Chains A and B, each alone.
Chain A
């Protein structure tokens, strides 16, 4: 349904004239944004940023000064021990312009399957809290393969296909990412990265992955020949994360909003933040990894 509406929008945009206009919008309320995660076998990571007025100018100076919050106290707890996260300026990411550049990283708590975690952030007089769970089970795809796509008109471009079986006894939510070794610095969620088992509960099904973009606003990336595809010769790591409902709801509404941003045919989707006192998410991920070397 949404795809059809998106298509209709695209048709109208292309069929008609568009011109730039000046809009006067009121000054918004300042808010903090939390992008936090904890994964099995990894330390928690928390990115803290601020929101900005819609048409505020964007330049590097602004980014480094106002965007990231650097004076916060960030604590993650598993109910037993507290880990005070340390601010880290990640130079390799800054160099590669790979988000996030500045974040708080843990050193005491390593994510465990089935555990529940609490986050507390103090910035000046503001207190922000959130909690999440890393689900108990890790899932794997049954089979993974690649095949060239006829529409690409180039037999070295195609989709990665997966065969999976969903557990009918459990309500599951998933997030899927891919990383092309030596081409992607880190994992990139696929286009439409979150699913719940409502459509395929208990069934065995085939599905293909559309490679996502690190920066979805980069217009030129859409006309790139490789858009959505994986190339012959690439080695791709596929990450399948089992997530809880709140994490799923956040990414589902966020992607719904950012993909259809500006769609005049729908009212904006309110994003389901699971953080109290700020915008954003604290997600728990039970992840599995699988590598596919793409060859004929």
Chain B
């Protein structure tokens, strides 16, 4: 820290000598009604047509020559701020923006122009305001960040109800999902039907499909950076909703007005109500109980204009109980995430902003089963302790320079099992824990080469170390006996990897309404999800890179053309990408999962590569009484593993040729808005049987090529109406009703296909049928929301 401080001081001093005539305007951009920091607000000087955007903490800084300027600050959904300022010394100016209502008026159309998509170098970046997310209906009338992101081109789902993101052909483990900088390993509740993000507690969402700046690292496909609300600095506020499936409540307020605040949000589903709509009067339904809950707590304290502290925590769990009466089998499954982040913002001077974070992140999955005398317990988990130091240096020579360091200690327990049959303890292997250290240094700069060309260049260097204590079981093949065991102590380094990740993106402005962007992104990933199934389940296991599992490498090239129409109210874009992924892994064919308990799990894996390419089209309107977008993606994702499918390339399970999303939000009048969503996607791939034969009087299937078959296409429409009754007098208590219908035309989308053989083949009475299972038929839902 000391050395860094000295180094920085030298630069600042040198700079102040060279640019003696320049001064800095800096400060924080906040919401006037509650004091929340506004992230990504545009602050610029009208006369120069140049400016800056506020960072994650709302901080902005502009260094310019002495003079008189009109400062303008804008943010979507807020009234613009204009002020004439005389710049003859450094100015500290905190800006408060007033929110306008969502139902837009004329004023809003002309003021808030969509120039960001044309101006910024950040290509492959998706910005969806939280208000938009709250308007779009999803399953059971609950607003959901992940489900809304899946409506964007390039981001797909695995199918019905699943909240996992498959971004440009990447797997669900290839997304860096951050909640206040803490990694969320499993962002799904209920096997993926709901995400762990409670929209009421979220302030901002930023997502990168490509061109991730160098301050993000560790995943190949995308970055989803979610920032929690800070808490109303001005007055107490409560929000909540009661729905058919879940209820939520959020309480926030100042601990000391304009100095410290807090927010607490909680959400819970009701087990029985969730299951009962689908119940056939059958003992299985009665035997099941499921519920999830999550809690978000955050507090912050503004020590001064220069220092601010934050403490945020998230805790969520899914609890699933199943008692299968006739088998007398009791199962208890429980999984969840817990994250805590401590942050300290420190402003060295108007140009140098820093943040120090200390983060704790944990994910666990436990499975407890009991049947007669047999008891089995499975546990898998991850614990990360991370510290980060990030600097933003808003230099006078037009550079937005970011640099910093990152250190994380990981402890993975991929699969730990214990069991008993009667009194006899079963030998299910020792508890295996995998330890690793990950350290990164990065530098990223955004600057203009000319009036038209802007460049974003970054490089990230990471050192990843797999350390002991660790036992390596050596054998030629997992089917052959173990020939040797190598013991590593806690002081030994089992394997070390060092990699550099260059990141380049550029924007070339053709004119004020259009631009071309290109990017080259190189990413390494040191954590891997080993999936036993064709869809993601909490039983999937996370493992770090080891001496056997090499880090994954992703290289992505993308090129896009962006054009705005109708005075910047309609944005359009065409983006193409090509991506290669190396060191992808899968379980080897024919692995007996139980054997992995006595061995290193990575002895059961095979490695290969993946390729994905595609084109994405988007037309989006963000302003006016009618807003929304139409997105279309054409893509192809293939995998190639020498030891799977006889070494022949095969489609990835989430390879989706066509993906169409259509979203419209229309404000009918001041009280009523309607939202319509229609999606269409090519069917999922699956492996189908090609022939059958008989062994011991039973039918056996012989399967065709891996993922060689496609299910019928998926499409559905949802509609949602939001009614805000407006009382004659403006009261503190506000309420709204949301009526939504999921799957409006009751399309039976296939969740999977299975073969049903009924009868006796041997008497010539067998009936063999292919059946498809669908999950959600037409589902109406009502939610009552309140705020005071």
A residues touching B (Cβ–Cβ < 8 Å)?
Answer: 1-5, 7-8, 10-23, 25-26, 28-29, 31, 33, 35, 49-55, 58-63, 67, 97-101, 150-151, 189, 198-201, 203-208, 214-219, 252-254, 257-258, 261-272, 279-281
Which residues of chain B from 372 to 431 have a CB within 8 Å of any chain A CB?
372-373, 378, 421-422, 424, 426-428
Complex contact B694–A33 (CB within 8 A)? yes
Q: Once bound together, how far apart are the Cα atoms of A266 and B540, in whole Å?
A: 12
Q: Judge if B589 is at the interface, Cβ distance under 8 Å.
A: yes
Tell me the nearest residue of chain B to A94, going by C-beta. Answer: B762
Say how far A278's CB is from chain B's closest CB, in angstroms.
10
**From A10, A19, A52, A218, contact of B771 by CB (8 A):** A19
Which residues of chain B from 541 to 599 have a CB within 8 Å of any chain A CB?
589-590, 592-595, 598
Interface locus among B209-217, B224-232, B682-690, B732-740: B682-690
Chain A residues with Cβ below 8 Å from B771 are: 18-21
Q: Judge if B305 is at the interface, Cβ distance under 8 Å.
A: no
Say how far A63's CB is from chain B's closest CB, in angstroms.
6
Q: Judge if B8 is at the interface, Cβ distance under 8 Å.
A: no
Which residues of chain B from 249 to 288 have a CB within 8 Å of any chain A CB?
275, 278-280, 282, 284-285, 288
Complex contact B773–A13 (CB within 8 A)? yes
Instruction: Find the residue from A5, A58, A63, A100 having the highest chain B CB count within 10 A.
Output: A58
**From A22, A31, A54, A215, contact of B701 by CB (8 A):** A54
Complex contact B777–A58 (CB within 8 A)? no
Q: Judge if B764 is at the interface, Cβ distance under 8 Å.
A: yes
Complex contact A58–B690 (CB within 8 A)? no
Q: Once bound together, how far apart are the Cα atoms of A216 and B687, in whole Å?
A: 22
Tell me the nearest residue of chain B to A1, going by C-beta. Answer: B593
Complex contact A51–B702 (CB within 8 A)? yes
Chain A residues with Cβ below 8 Å from B657 are: none
Complex contact A5–B537 (CB within 8 A)? yes
Say how far A148's CB is from chain B's closest CB, in angstroms.
13
Given A16-B751, A23-B753, A55-B768, decide whether A99 and B590 contact each other with a Cβ distance below 8 A: no
Q: Judge if B452 is at the interface, Cβ distance under 8 Å.
A: no
Q: Judge if B678 is at the interface, Cβ distance under 8 Å.
A: no
Given A18-B772, A215-B762, decide whether A1 and B278 contact each other with a Cβ distance below 8 A: no
Say how far A274's CB is from chain B's closest CB, in angstroms.
13
**From B282, B284, B697, B751, contact of A99 by CB (8 A):** B697
Complex contact B282–A14 (CB within 8 A)? yes
> How many positions in chain B have a CB within 8 Å of any CB in the partner chain?
91
Chain A residues with Cβ below 8 Å from B772 are: 18-21
Q: Judge if B535 is at the interface, Cβ distance under 8 Å.
A: yes
Complex contact B532–A17 (CB within 8 A)? no
Chain A residues with Cβ below 8 Å from B534 are: 264-267
Given A16-B775, A97-B763, A198-B595, decide whether A33 and B693 contact each other with a Cβ distance below 8 A: yes
Chain B residues with Cβ below 8 Å from A101 are: 762
Say how far A163's CB is from chain B's closest CB, in angstroms.
10
Chain A residues with Cβ below 8 Å from B709 are: 25
Say how far A201's CB is from chain B's closest CB, in angstroms.
7
Chain B residues with Cβ below 8 Å from A12 are: 751, 773, 775
**From A20, A203, A218, A262, contact of B424 by CB (8 A):** A203
Given A54-B689, A264-B752, decide whether A49 and B532 contact each other with a Cβ distance below 8 A: no
Given A7-B322, A18-B771, A264-B751, decide whether A217 and B422 contact each other with a Cβ distance below 8 A: no
Q: Once bound together, how far apart are the Cα atoms of A267 and B770, in whole Å?
A: 17
Chain A residues with Cβ below 8 Å from B757 are: 217
Chain B residues with Cβ below 8 Å from A252 are: 592
Q: Judge if B669 is at the interface, Cβ distance under 8 Å.
A: no
Say how far B716's CB is from chain A's closest CB, in angstroms.
14
**From A16, A19, A28, A272, contact of B691 by CB (8 A):** A28
Which residues of chain B from 746 to 788 have a CB within 8 Å of any chain A CB?
748, 750-766, 768-777
10 closest pairs, A vs B, by CB? A262-B754, A264-B752, A99-B697, A28-B691, A60-B764, A265-B533, A51-B693, A15-B278, A217-B757, A28-B690
Say how far B331's CB is from chain A's closest CB, in angstroms.
7
Complex contact A58–B764 (CB within 8 A)? yes
Chain B residues with Cβ below 8 Å from A203 are: 424
Complex contact A18–B773 (CB within 8 A)? yes
**From A1, A35, A261, A269, contact of B594 by CB (8 A):** A1
Complex contact B590–A270 (CB within 8 A)? yes
A interface footprint on B668-710 (CB within 8 Å = 1, 0 otherwise): 0000000000000000001111111111111111111010010
Complex contact A54–B768 (CB within 8 A)? yes
Say how far A62's CB is from chain B's closest CB, in angstroms.
7
Complex contact A199–B427 (CB within 8 A)? yes
Given A12-B773, A258-B699, decide whether A26 and B704 contact each other with a Cβ distance below 8 A: yes
Tell me the nearest residue of chain A to B590, going by C-beta. Answer: A270
Complex contact A59–B764 (CB within 8 A)? yes
Say how far A215's CB is from chain B's closest CB, in angstroms.
6
Chain A residues with Cβ below 8 Å from B322 are: 7, 11
Say how far A260's CB is from chain B's closest CB, in angstroms.
10
**From B278, B703, B748, contact of A268 by CB (8 A):** B703
Chain A residues with Cβ below 8 Å from B701 are: 54, 257, 261, 268
Complex contact A62–B331 (CB within 8 A)? no
Complex contact B753–A20 (CB within 8 A)? no
Q: Once bound together, how far apart are the Cα atoms of A142 and B764, in whole Å?
A: 42
Q: Judge if B450 is at the interface, Cβ distance under 8 Å.
A: no
Which residues of chain B from 421 to 444 have a CB within 8 Å of any chain A CB?
421-422, 424, 426-428
Q: Once bound together, how far apart are the Cα atoms of A33 and B700, in whole Å?
A: 11
**From B532, B706, B770, contact of A23 by CB (8 A):** B770
Q: Judge if B235 is at the interface, Cβ distance under 8 Å.
A: no
Q: Judge if B4 is at the interface, Cβ distance under 8 Å.
A: no
Given A25-B688, A216-B698, decide whether A151 and B594 contact each other with a Cβ distance below 8 A: no
Which residues of chain B from 128 to 175 have a CB within 8 Å of any chain A CB?
none
